[in-house]
Amino acid sequence: MTSKRGPYAKSDVRRRSLSAAALELVRQKGHRNVAIAEIAQLANTSEPTVYYHFPTKESLLIAALQQHDEENARARGHEAGAIAEMGSRAEAGVQRTNYARLYNELAGAAADPTHPANEFFRQRWARSVGVVATDIRRLQESGRVPADVDANDAAHLLLAAWEGLQLQWMQGPPFDIRALIEAHIRALLGPDALD
């Protein structure tokens, strides 16, 4: 990707600074307890500047989710190990309670195709399915997952289980999400998938 130049580069840096500040405050306080004034202060700017780049608080929170994904998602070509890490990543994810609440709330709202977060979640699902399906195919090539398993279908099912279990965990009472995800992986992909 080419770098932006001139005022566009500064604008891009400012947007990332604002979304990073929003993400940090969400992690600390929860998205419902964060004010635009606090985000502006943490990013060393003014409220009008925040609204210039993000017309609504919701658009800023969507950008914060995007930035979190950019920082934590597997890059293309590094899909190996996605299946093996699913349980531990799910376990860590529910411990980031405030972030998980924001994610769940926006994911639910994004089911409406006109919602501003819809495009983000559609792209996120497509990328996630691609990563998981690629790792399943790698496991099939090594003989650890049966060849007759449809990698794309299995990826959808594993990710749906992860999302559903995360939502159940957040609503309480807590349970061993890692154990359940790993049991689901073995049931769907075979007993050697996590060996």
Q: Are 39 and 61 in contact (CB under 8 A)?
A: no
pTM: 0.85
Please give the structure tokens belonging to residue 130. Answer: 């691609």
Instruction: Report CA 149 to chain centroid distance, whole Å.
Output: 25
pLDDT tens-digit readout, 167-186? 999 999 999 999 999 999 99
pLDDT confidence of 78, banded at 50, 70, 90? low
| Alpha-carbon span 191 to 80, nearest angstrom | 18
pLDDT tens-digit readout, 36-45? 999 999 999 9
